[in-house]
Amino acid sequence: MQPDQIDKAWRVASKCEQCAIRSLVLFADLTKEDFDLLHYPIHELNFATGETLYNQGDKPEAIYTVRSGLVKLVSYLSDGSFRIVRILRQGDVVGLEALDNKNYLHHAVILESASFCRLPVGEIKELNDNSPHLFKQLTARWQRVISDADTWLSKLTSGFAKQRVAHLLIYLSQDCQSTQCYLPGREDMGALLAITTETASRVIAEFKRKGFIKLVSPHQAIIDQEALVAIIQGDEEDPSAQNQR
C-alpha cells in the first residue's frame, strides 16, 4: 500500500511538527516547546499483514500511534478460543495500558499492512508531567476506546448473526471513504461477533448472493449501506414475513 513496503523498516521520522496526520494523533495539541522536551526523535515502523506488534503479557516500553493500516487486539480465553476485542485504525493508539504500568493486555496483530509511530512510555510520561497539552488528547483517546467498547458490546454482540455482521460491516466502513471497507476473514469475524466461523461464512455468502456486498479484493468489499441498515432493523426481503422485531 505504501511506497515503501519494507517490513519493520525503522525510519527516523521527519519532525512530528510536520506530520501529515498530526491533527489526528496523540501529539495534536503539542507546541514547539513541548516537542523540545522530547529526548529522542520519534521513529516510524512498518509491519506487514499477519505480523505481531506485541504479545499479551509482554512488558511494554512503548505505545504506538496508527498512521495507516488496521490492527486487531486479540484476547485468548482459558479454553483456547479467542476473541477480538478491538480493531484499531488511523489515529488510534495501540497499547494505552502501558501508561498504567500494565503489561500488554492483548496480542496486537496486523490485519492490513500498517505504519506506526513508536512512542516510548518514558517520553510520554515525562511530556505529560511537564506540559498540560498531552492530557486532553489522552483523555480523548481513552474516551474513544471506551465508547467504542460500548458500541461493540451493545451492537456487535446481540441480535441475530445477520444483524451482527451488518453492524460490523457498517462499523468498518465508517472510517474508510465512501462505502468500501475491510472484510475480515470468516474466523476473525466469528471471533469479533461471538459466532462460529461457519455462521459468519453463511451470512457473508448470503450477503454476496443478494448483492449487499461486492468483493473488490479478498479482504476489501463495497457494501450496500441501506440494505445492511434494513437487516439491522429486522426487515427481511421475504414478502410473506411480517416485520416483527
Partner DNA sequence: TTAACAGATTGATAATTCTCAATTATTTAT
Partner DNA sequence: ATAAATAATTGAGAATTATCAATCTGTTAA
Cβ proximity to its own copies, 31 vs 154, nearer residue: 154
Residues contacting 191, CB < 8 A, separation 6+: 74, 81, 82, 83, 84
Q: Rule CB under 7 A: which of 174-203 touch DNA?
A: 185-187, 194-199, 201-202
Nearest approach in angstroms of CB 64 to DNA is 24
Query: Which listed residue (161, 222, 230, 232) binds DNA by CB under 7 A?
Result: 161
Q: What is the torsional sign of CA 212, 216, 219, 223?
A: negative
Cell of 229: 441498515
Q: Which does 197 bind (CB under 5 to 8 A by kind): its own copies, DNA, none?
A: DNA
**What is the contact surface with its own copies in residues (CB under 8 A)?**
75, 77-79, 81, 83, 85-86, 96-97, 99-100, 102, 105-106, 128-129, 132, 135, 138-140, 142-143, 145-147, 149-150, 152-155, 157-158, 194, 233-234, 245
In the region spanning residues 112 to 151, those forming contacts with DNA, defined by CB under 7 A, are none
In terms of Cβ atoms closer than 10 Å to its own Cβ (0-12, 13-18, 19+), residue 22 is middle
Question: Could you tell me the smallest distance in angstroms from the CB atom of residue 15 to DNA?
Answer: 37
Q: Are 116 and 138 in contact (CB under 8 A)?
A: no
Give me the least distance between CB of 138 and its own copies, in Å please. 8
Stretch near DNA under the rule CB under 7 A, chosen from 19-27, 95-103, 124-132, 158-166:
158-166
Query: What percent of the residues of the chain are helix, what percent strand, and what percent coil, each to the nearest 5?
Result: 40, 25, 40
| DSSP H helices in the chain | 32-36, 121-130, 133-151, 161-173, 186-193, 197-209, 225-232
Q: Which spans of this chain sit near DNA (rule: CB under 7 A)?
A: 160-162, 185-187, 194-199, 201-202, 204-206, 208-209, 218, 244-245
